[in-house]
A and B are shown apart, each in its own frame.
Chain A
Amino acid sequence: MNREPSPPLTLRSATSLVTLLIASVLFLAPIVWMMATSWKPEAQAASETIRLFADPVADTPAAAKENYSAVWNDVTIRFPIYLRNTLIVALLSVVGMVLSSAVVAYGFARVQWRGRSALFTLVLATMMIPFPVLMTPLFVLFAKIGWIGTLRPLWVPAWFGAAFNIFLLRQFYMGIPRELDEAARIDGCSHWGIFWRIILPLSRPALAVVALFHFMYVWNDFLAPMVFVQHQDMFTLALGLQLYQSKAGNTPWNLLMAASTMVMAPVLLLFMATQRTFVKGLTGGASKE
């Protein structure tokens, strides 16, 4: 991007600017408030005045350190283990999701065959089926093969692709010039060769988007882990956080907010680092023909 000088503010853009500033404050307030509460001492967490920092302000770092280490080192709710589980699921399912969706998308974008568009419509139609509709039979199925209480139900299905990601990658492949395939084919490349040597390397940005989206999905997912993972040792962070809140009953707010911040911060930082790629990926599928 080349840097352009900021255009002059007109009355209209100034009005939009002010409105959006107010809106941003409202949208960010819950997140800011969460962090603010997480670095206050317990006695000040619930107070009837709005304050961002501990009183006196100099106490803030010490209170923050105390709260976060209290959460991290809790004896019954073991966040380090939940973090490990979440990372295992995230790694296994992100790799599986990217690979399988990339392969399947190739079949829909670059191989000509009868029934292709009908099957692709079916792929898209599966996006309409909500998870709650399937969770009961999936539980029965996973129970029959002994997967309940393991992490497998959370990552194995990712190795079979997902409609949205297949769609996203197919759109991206369609934008890669076909002449490249033809040239490779003349050089004696098979479909696999074309996929591996041409399509995959050129699709890195789109693959990154799929990885990013799926990582966020795994990190945030709550219902599937709650249904399929029943051993506390196998909990993911989202589940552990809920347990932390419900078990202790009277857990002080400052600790609850410190725990929430810990679970929320990684995805928010990841988003800030990848905002442009992320937004492009979100709208990319829609804006290309």
Chain B
Amino acid sequence: MKFRMKDEFVGLTWVSPWIVGFLAFLLIPAGMSLYFSFTDYPLLESPVWVGLGNYKRLLSDEVFHKALVNTFIYAGAAIPLSVLLAVVLAALLNTKGLRWTRFFEAAIFMPTLAPLVASSMVWMWILNGRFGLLNQFLGLLHISGPNWLLREGWAMAALVIVALWGVGQAVILCVAALKEVPEQLYEAANLDGMGPVRQFINVTLPMISPVILFNTITMLIGAFQVFVVPYVLFQKDKGGPNKSGYFYTSYLYDNAFVYGQMGYASALAWVQLLIILLLTGLLFLASRRLVFYRGA
């Protein structure tokens, strides 16, 4: 082969656009941010070194604690429910002999495509205490719905409902995984006298567990970035009733671009990244027992 001699050079040339972008828009900014996180950096002045000052401040910052706890509550509720809902909907979509699958898939998937600002505004209208569709619907069932966006606990519940509405992508991935499960496994399970429920637990779930893990990790990264929906829903009362709709990224944004504290915002960003990496690592560790890889 005539390319042999300068293979490294040729290869690196082909991938050079990515390398340049990686340096310019990721590695260098990340380095800058690490440096800023050890400084006091009001937007219009030069950064001044403060050592661990910003990180120490995090320990006693009550707004930060509130935003962090809210984010964990949101992630803790939205992720398991979404993962579960995705598996259930995918199993239904994968029923043998089902009709109109393309329509169902589209209906479930479309919400994930809608621009978040637009769908947040729609949800604001739906969750409206008096005229909102949700409470009108509950009214038909003779349930008097709460004032979703103005009451502390209900505001979080409302955000979880909006998150569940966006489960479509996870459903599509689960359906694809279900289609890959070899038919012989079910035949064998039938011969063993397994009922549908035990087949689902003993055959289906292990076979699609890599996708479930993938969905969980994607949702985890997403949940720690949640910003637009609460930003639009709780704009008027700045973070919702008693700040119950105020999240990690909301606080990061406010510090950087509203209070002009770039140093503190950078410390927040690094802690956010560490939390995400740590939780993802833990998920991988936990999954070693739970996830089944074919061919492994």
Q: Chain A interface (Cβ within 8 Å of chain B)?
A: 6-10, 12-13, 16-17, 19-20, 23-24, 27-31, 33-34, 37, 46-50, 100, 103-104, 106-108, 111-116, 119, 122-123, 126, 128-141, 157, 159-161, 166, 191, 216, 219-220, 222-223, 227, 237-239, 241-242, 245-246, 253, 256-257, 260-261, 263-264, 267-268, 271-272, 275, 279, 282-283, 286-287
Q: Which residues of B contact A253 (CB under 8 A)?
A: 125, 131
Contact A28 B107 (CB under 8 A): yes
Q: Do the beta carbons of B136 and A48 come within 8 Å of each other?
A: yes
Contact, CB under 8 Å: B93 / A263: no
Check if B98 sits within 8 Å of A271, measured CB to CB.
Answer: no
Q: Count B-side interface residues using an 8 Å CB cutoff.
A: 94
What are 25 A-B contacts with C-beta separation under 8 Å? A7-B96, A9-B97, A10-B97, A17-B100, A20-B98, A20-B100, A30-B133, A46-B131, A48-B136, A106-B14, A107-B15, A113-B11, A113-B12, A114-B8, A132-B253, A136-B262, A141-B28, A141-B29, A159-B21, A191-B10, A220-B116, A223-B227, A237-B115, A256-B121, A279-B172
Q: Let me know if B7 and A222 touch, CB within 8 A.
A: no
Contacting residues, chain A, for B15 (C-beta < 8 A): 104, 107-108, 119
Shortest beta-carbon distance, B267 to chain A, in Å? 10
- CB pair B98–A166 under 8 Å, yes or no, is no
List of B residues within 8 angstroms of A33 by Cβ: 122, 125-126, 133
A13 to B36, alpha carbons, bound, how many Å? 58
Verify A20–B104 contact, CB threshold 8 A.
yes
B181 contacts A by Cβ under 8 Å: no
What is the CB-to-nearest-CB distance from A260 to chain B, in angstroms, rounded to a whole number? 4
Within the assembled complex, what's the spacing in Å between the Cα atoms of A128 and B222? 10
CB distance from B92 to the nearest CB of A (A): 5
Q: Say yes or no: A245 contacts B98, CB within 8 Å.
A: no
Q: Which residues of B contact A (CB under 8 A)?
A: 3, 7-8, 10-15, 17-18, 20-22, 24-26, 28-30, 32-33, 36, 89, 92-93, 95-100, 102-111, 113-119, 121-123, 125-126, 128, 130-131, 133, 136-137, 140, 165, 168-169, 172-173, 175-177, 180, 211, 214, 221, 224-225, 227-228, 232, 235, 249, 252-253, 256-257, 262, 265-266, 269-270, 272-273, 276-277, 280
- Asked if residues A103 and B136 are in contact (CB atoms below 8 Å), the reply is no
A17, A49, A223, A264: the one within 8 Å of B119 (CB): A264
**Would A100 and B117 count as touching, CB distance under 8 A?**
no
Most B C-beta atoms less than 10 A away, residue of A103, A108, A111, A256: A111
Task: Assess A282 versus B172: contact at CB under 8 Å? Given A257-B122, A287-B180.
Answer: yes
Q: Are B8 and A115 in contact (CB under 8 A)?
A: yes
**Smallest Cβ distance from B43 to chain A, in angstroms?**
8
Secondary structure dominating the interface of A: helix
Asked whether B113 lies within 8 Å of A271 as measured between CB atoms, the reply is yes
The residue that A283 contacts in the complex, of B18, B33, B111, B172, with Cβ under 8 A, is B172
User: Do B107 and A24 touch (CB < 8 A)?
Assistant: yes
Determine if B8 and A113 form an interchain contact, defined as CB atoms under 8 angstroms apart: yes
B273 touches A133 (CB 8 A): yes
Q: How far is the CA of A286 from the CA of B18 in the complex (A)?
A: 22
Q: Which residue of B lies closest to A114 (CB)?
A: B8
Contact A130–B273 (Cβ < 8 Å): yes
Shortest Cβ distance from residue A8 to the other chain B in the assembled complex, whole angstroms = 7
Given contacts A263-B115, A264-B114, A287-B176, contact A20 B273 (CB under 8 A): no
Tell me, rounded to whole Å, the shortest Cβ–Cβ distance linking A72 to chain B.
Answer: 15
Q: Given A138-B25, A275-B106, decide whether A48 and B228 contact each other with a Cβ distance below 8 A.
A: no
Which residue of B33, B111, B214, B221 contacts A27 across the interface (Cβ within 8 Å)? B111
Residues of B within 8 A of A7 (CB): 96-97
From B12, B98, B133, B276, contact of A128 by CB (8 A): B276
CA distance A85 to B230 in the complex (A): 26
CB pair B95 A16 closer than 8 Å: yes
**A219-B116 Cα distance, complex, nearest whole Å:** 10
Partner of B96 from the list A13, A34, A130, A133 (CB cut-off 8 Å) is A13
CB of B17 within 8 A of CB of A159, answer yes
Which residue in A49, A137, A246 is a CB contact (below 8 Å) of B29? A137
Bound CA–CA A263/B105 (angstroms)? 22
- State whether B17 touches A136 (Cβ < 8 A): no
Q: List A contacts of B137 (CB < 8 A).
A: 50
Q: How far is the CA of A272 from the CA of B109 in the complex (A)?
A: 11
* Cβ contact of B262, chosen from A29, A115, A119, A140, cutoff 8 A: A140
Shortest C-beta distance, A200 to chain B (Å), equals 13
Please determine whether B111 and A241 come into contact, CB atoms closer than 8 angstroms: no
Task: Name the 8 nearest CB pairs between A and B, nearest first.
Answer: A160-B21, A107-B14, A113-B11, A24-B107, A283-B176, A137-B29, A16-B95, A107-B15
State how many angstroms separate the Cβ of B226 from the closest Cβ of chain A: 10
Whether A137 lies near B117 (C-beta < 8 A) is no
A115, closest chain B residue (CB):
B8
**Cβ contacts under 8 Å, B97 to chain A:** 7-10, 12-13
